[in-house]
Structure 1
Amino acid sequence: MLDVTDLRRFYSSPQGELARRLIARIARRRFSNCVGYSVLGVGFATPYLDVFREEAVRVLSFMPARQGVVRWPVEGLCACALVEPTRTPLPDSSIDRAIVVHGLETDARQRELLAEIWRVLAPNGRVLIVAPSRSGLWARLESTPFGHGQPFSRAQLRELMRDTLFEPTSWDEALYAPPFRSRALLRLGASFEKIAAFFSLPGAGVLIVEATKQLYRPVASVERAQDALGQFAPAAEPVGVAPAARLRASRRDASPARPRAFTSSRAAPGRS
């Protein structure tokens, strides 16, 4: 897993500054107004949180225990903490907006992580996830943080979100420009990004999905959960209740001493 010093070093480099600018532009467009909101960053999201500090009620940064923590912000009261991502010290429904960067792809407990974010989000809460794309060059080079952990296709990310009760509402891509180290080539990154995004070219380095918190589980998710449960739990023996018309007919034909209201072959409670 990436160390916090590696992440900080990357974002201090020209390559990391380009990645920050291109991703932050999309993040700001999606979360354009956070006045009065509580904003939470998960993973290593501090390069993308400064823009929300002037308008949000509070902005917090939770960094995984295995990754390490660095003080943020540099000036003023500390707003970051070293936490277990699947057990955060926040009450239910206490966060309005969440941003996950360098968090999902490096955690083997992806569903548990998203379930914890679902728990702390308010009923109208939204989450923005930045994850490396399987088709991009950035996910294939370990010289960048996006080259560590599990990259995703759009279909994989969509399925993961829906399994954890999030409904994707918008999709974006960023980092079309190859991860050059040369400053001269990096200056062309923003121009290359605009051209590639305009023509919807393949090969973006990251997928950015915005999703809303669902309050009710879809039928398909319930069926998948029941199928999974059936692998471990024995099948229950159903006890059917007779329809009203058939029940009335059976009462007319049956002996008054032994009325039968159930179609099950088992005796009614209290009778031999």
Structure 2
Amino acid sequence: MALDVIDLRGFYGSVLGGVARRFIGQFVRSRWEACTGYSVLGVGYATPYLDPFLSEAVRVLAFMPAEQGVVHWPGKGLSSTALVDVTMMPLPDASMDRVLLVHALETSDQPYDLLNEVWRVLTPGGRMIAVVPNRRGMWARVDTTPFGYGRPYSRSQLRELMREAQFSPLNWAEALYVPPFARRYLLRSAPAFESIGSKLALPGAGVHLVEATKQLYSPVMTRRVLRRKVPQLQPALVSAHRMPGDAKRETDD
């Protein structure tokens, strides 16, 4: 189920959206501290997390699914956004060093094809970060935020999807332990929720955060050879002077 770009922009303009951007953005920036000389791509609705890379990356692009819609970004200068089919992105092979997926996997009807396309455009040694709703978290259970739409994942489901798409996870984390309600006292306590939840690795965080790199070679699958049991044939004594039709004639007699 695709989200509407207007709703996404409205959420990130709210106080609760600012909380999500703060804690998810901290993880993204801690993993990608410096992207000088890199090409960075955001897929889905990743623009709230791409601003820090504008001043250092060679290029920063934001691709948004056709079903979602597109907005102009960044606010000043030429737009770096495009409306695309995210399973067939208009980029050459191995052209991007970093790819950030936000509001993408969970709303895609073809998550495997999406990851396959990300694998294609990533450079050898390139990194991807996926932000995916946690199926055990409260954020996936209410539809007042964009994280309540689409298909949430457990960590094991996400790991299996990554494996099938030939990605190797490098770092796992979780974020958004604060309940997804715009209550002032909750939002004021958001840093405490986040600190306690991450230190104790409590279940129920709002999103999974996984950084992965592409596998350069597909694993060789060992095919098991099935041996058929061949029936054992017993030799039969046949006269050297017997003709092929003799056996039939003897039967007829």
Provide the TM-score with structure 1 as the length reference: 0.81
Conserved 8 A contact 1:14-1:183? no
After TM superposition, give the deviation of residue 25 of structure 1 in Å: 0.2
State the identity %: 59
Return the alpha-carbon distance in structure 1 between the equivalents of residues 183 and 15 of structure 2.
Answer: 9
Return the alpha-carbon distance in structure 1 between the equivalents of residues 37 and 136 of structure 2.
Answer: 38
Tell me what 1:174 maps to: 175
What's the secondary structure of 1:33's corresponding residue? coil
After superposition, residues 237-248 of structure 1 pair within 5 angstroms as none
Tell me what 1:59 maps to: 60
Conserved 8 A contact 2:174-2:208? yes
What's the secondary structure of 1:169's corresponding residue? strand
Tell me what 1:131 maps to: 132
Return the alpha-carbon distance in structure 1 between the equivalents of residues 187 and 165 of structure 2.
Answer: 37
After superposition, residues 100-249 of structure 1 pair within 5 angstroms as 100-219=101-220, 222=221
- What do residues 87-114 of structure 1 show as CA deviations (whole Å, max 9, x unaligned)? 1110000000000000000001001000
Conserved 8 A contact 2:92-2:121? yes
- What do residues 42-64 of structure 1 show as CA deviations (whole Å, max 9, x unaligned)? 00000000011111101000000
What's the secondary structure of 2:109's corresponding residue? coil
What's the secondary structure of 1:77's corresponding residue? coil
After TM superposition, give the deviation of residue 15 of structure 1 in Å: 0.5
After TM superposition, give the deviation of residue 33 of structure 1 in Å: 1.5
Tell me what 1:69 maps to: 70
- Given residue 16 of structure 1, which amino acid in structure 2 is its aligned partner? G
After TM superposition, give the deviation of residue 183 of structure 1 in Å: 2.5
1:30 counterpart = 2:31: yes
- Given residue 177 of structure 1, which amino acid in structure 2 is its aligned partner? V
Return the alpha-carbon distance in structure 2 between the equivalents of residues 183 and 76 of structure 1.
Answer: 36
- What do residues 205-253 of structure 1 show as CA deviations (whole Å, max 9, x unaligned)? 000000001111123xx46xx89xxxxxxxxxxxxxxxxxxxxxxxxxx
Conserved 8 A contact 1:60-1:80? yes
Number of aligned residue pairs? 227
Which structure 2 segments of 5+ residues have no match? 225-253
1:49 counterpart = 2:50: yes
What's the secondary structure of 1:167's corresponding residue? strand
Conserved 8 A contact 2:179-2:186? no
Aligned structure 1 segments of 4 or more residues deviating by more than 4 angstroms = none
Which structure 1 segments of 5+ residues have no match? 228-272
What's the secondary structure of 2:168's corresponding residue? strand
After TM superposition, give the deviation of residue 190 of structure 1 in Å: 1.4
Return the alpha-carbon distance in structure 2 between the equivalents of residues 206 and 102 of structure 1.
Answer: 11
After TM superposition, give the deviation of residue 184 of structure 1 in Å: 3.0
Q: For the pair shown, which has the larger CA radius of gyration, 1 or 2?
A: 2
Tell me what 2:240 maps to: none
Return the alpha-carbon distance in structure 2 between the equivalents of residues 103 and 145 of structure 1.
Answer: 11
